[in-house]
Amino acid sequence: MKYCFHHIPKTAGSSLQLRLSHREHIGQLPEGSTLVVYPMGADTRFYRVCEDKDFSEDESIKTAFLRTYKRPSTKRSASIVMGHLTTVGQAGEHFTWLRHPLERDISHYNYDRKFGNTVAEDFETHGRSLAGNFQTVWLYKFYLGNMDTPPMEKMFSVVKDTLHNKFKKVWTSNNFEASWDFIANMLDVDIEPRLQSNIGGKEYNKSISVDKLDSKFINWHEKHNSFDYELYELFNID
């Protein structure tokens, strides 16, 4: 059986990648069975823990990417494929996570702020500059590989049908640990240790949180991202 874990940015994923890479590293998964497909600048990169002699469970998975991304990659297949750049064309059963839209946008802002990639210093100004419905658009364009830009209602309909019909399971990020229990049992690997690769709180400061936002902005955000909110609520049933 093959498995594909699609990772929408800032929804869950890096800890899963670290945990499954670690399980292969210690021999609980076959050598070469895991592959992470991720962006590095404008390029698509591939990470295989079996080719990383310096892998450490105490480092973030991004540290492993940065250390190895210039090395030549092999063309071997893998039975467990993970990452931002996995697609609908990947063989096997597909899984993904959705995140509460406001929490996702805040997380992305806090991350981008570290690298000076925000439109404005304050989150509200930055948020109002965004096109909105990030998760819906991401799945339509990057997972499904569609290059057109139809009305958002059409994107939403296509993505909703895809999540219902293509994915074996769709979790929400707040249920990540429960999803990990499911995945570990499915792959017959140890649930512990629950390695954490999320660098938030370690390598960048969380400059904003939901409780610091004005209610008017929160209402605006819900309207501006209404399709993401609807998508999230459809699967927020774990």
CATH number, residue 210: 3.40.50
Q: How many structural domains are present in the chain?
A: 1
Residue 63 above 50 pLDDT? Answer: yes
Measured in whole angstroms, the distance separating CA 174 from the mean position of its chain's CA atoms is 13
Burial class (CB in 10 A: 0-12, 13-18, 19+), 129: exposed
Residue 201 above 50 pLDDT? Answer: no
Of these ranges, 66-80, 117-131, 132-146, the one predicted with the greatest mean pLDDT is 132-146
Mean pLDDT over the full length of the chain: 93
CB 133 within 8 A of CB 225: yes
Residue 72 above 60 pLDDT? Answer: yes
- At 153, is the pLDDT very low, low, confident or very high (cuts 50, 70, 90)? very high
- Express each pLDDT in 79-132 by its tens digit: 999 999 999 999 999 999 999 999 999 999 998 888 788 888 889 999 999 999
Q: How crowded is residue 101: how many other Cβ atoms within 10 Å of its Cβ?
A: 24
Give the neighbor-by-neighbor strand order of the sheet with 80-83.
43-47, 34-40, 80-83, 3-6, 93-98, 167-172
Residue 206 above 80 pLDDT? Answer: no
What CA–CA distances, in Å, run from 44 to 32, 74, 127, 143, 198? 19, 13, 28, 14, 21
- Count of alpha carbons within 13 angstroms of residue 230, beta-carbon side: 14
CB 105 within 8 A of CB 9: no
Per the structure, the complete domain to which residue 205 belongs is given by 3-235
| CA angle, 41 then 44 then 46, to 5° | 120
